[in-house]
Amino acid sequence: MLQNQRRDKIIELIREDGHAKVIDLSRIFKVTEVTIRQDLESLEKEGFVVREHGGAYLKNLDLSVRNFSLQNQENLSEKMMIARKAVEFIHDGDTIILDSGSTTSEIAKLLSGYTNLTIITNALNIALILGAQAGINVVVTGGEFKAPTLSLTGQKAADFFQNLHVDKLFLATAGIALKSGLTYPGISDICVKRAMIESANEIYLVADSSKIGKNAFASLGALSLINYLITDSKIKPEDIAWLKTYDVQFVIAEK
């Protein structure tokens, strides 16, 4: 892996988890700790992270958590379009899982006026958005807190879904790659996503078109794990071509 590629992956990991240790990054990327320290020094100079003894943490993270705001707000207009399309698949009486993420948070903002709707989520911001909504019952998983995504993760979060059976899952992703399938920056999320998928009758992947062709750090598995892909109209024709090789239904969100 080239230096710039490694540094891009390091910042992806830190943006996902909020912090990283030199010793862990050295093991993950199979380079020396000296090399990792040089990477972190460069990322600090660029204004992405703040170095500390043994590692680094995401800049302005404390402010984001206190304001309960998500770090990733890129392509927000596309995510809002996807959210408007996604709620068309949600009906009174449904039990659904809302994964953590900026697109699923936009879905949560549109959920009002429902009757007997149960939302299970590992996202604390989604729980706060929906907690006071009449007609919606909100259930929150346990797990380890991840500050940048305001979410709960790890094996305890995954264990929560054992023996649960829900109608629909609205799943987020960091990237959809040809070889790696559904990919994520953080390893700790993989077990949670897998447990969510195993609990749901129907799986809706909500991902803006910038995620297609992107390969994040950890792979969950092939696109065939999902039933529907809801994305925006900026998707490229060549991406549609290879995605159609999977048994997945496309839903394109228009303005």
Do residues 118 and 154 both lie within one domain? yes
Which residue, of 33, 59, 85, is where some domain finishes?
59
Same domain, 184 and 137: yes
Please report which confidence band the pLDDT of residue 148 belongs to, taking 50, 70 and 90 as the band edges: confident
Q: Is 70 within the bounds of a domain?
A: no
Query: What pLDDT was estimated at residue 6?
Result: 86
Do 123 and 31 fall into the same domain? no
23, amino acid identity: I
69 found inside a domain = no
Confidence of residue 99 (pLDDT cuts 50, 70, 90): very high
| Position 200 in a domain | yes
Q: Dig out the tokens for 89 from the structure.
A: 């698949």
Could you count the other beta carbons within 10 Å of the beta carbon of residue 27?
12
Q: Residue 52 CB: number of other CB atoms within 10 A?
A: 11
Averaged pLDDT, 132-139: 93
- 35 shares its domain with 88: no
Residue that wins the pLDDT comparison between 108 and 9: 108
If asked whether residues 86 and 14 sit together in one domain, one would say no
Note the pLDDT of residue 230.
Answer: 96
Q: Which domain holds residue 107?
A: 76-253
Question: What's the pTM?
Answer: 0.85
> 97 with 200: CB under 8 angstroms?
yes
Residues 237 and 138 in one domain: yes
Number of domains in the chain: 2
Q: Looking at the structure, do residues 97 and 215 belong to the same domain, yes or no?
A: yes
Closest to 63 measured CA to CA, from 54, 75, 50, 52: 50
| Residue 106 resides in a domain | yes
**pLDDT at residue 7 greater than cutoff 70:** yes
pLDDT, average across residues 5-23 = 83
Same domain, 201 and 93: yes
Q: Looking at the structure, do residues 125 and 239 belong to the same domain, yes or no?
A: yes
Q: Does the pLDDT of residue 218 top 80, yes or no? A: yes
Q: What pLDDT score was predicted for residue 13?
A: 81
Digit-coded pLDDT (tens) for 149-162: 899 999 999 999 99
Q: Is the domain of 49 the same as that of 137?
A: no
Of the candidate ranges 65-69, 97-101, 119-123, 212-216, the one whose mean pLDDT is the lowest: 65-69
In terms of domains, do 55 and 116 share one? no
* Separation CA 119–CA 189 (nearest Å): 19
Same domain, 41 and 124: no
In a domain? residue 240:
yes
Whether 68 has a pLDDT exceeding 70, the answer reads: no
**CATH code at position 175:** 3.40.50.1360
Average pLDDT on 205-213 reads 93
CATH number reported for the structural domain that contains residue 37 in this entry: 1.10.10.10
Q: Which of 61, 105, 66 is nearest to 86 (CA)?
A: 105
Q: Classify residue 64: in a domain, yes or no.
A: no
User: Given this model, what pLDDT does residue 58 score?
Assistant: 80
- Please compute the mean of the pLDDT values over residues 216-237 and round it to a whole number: 91
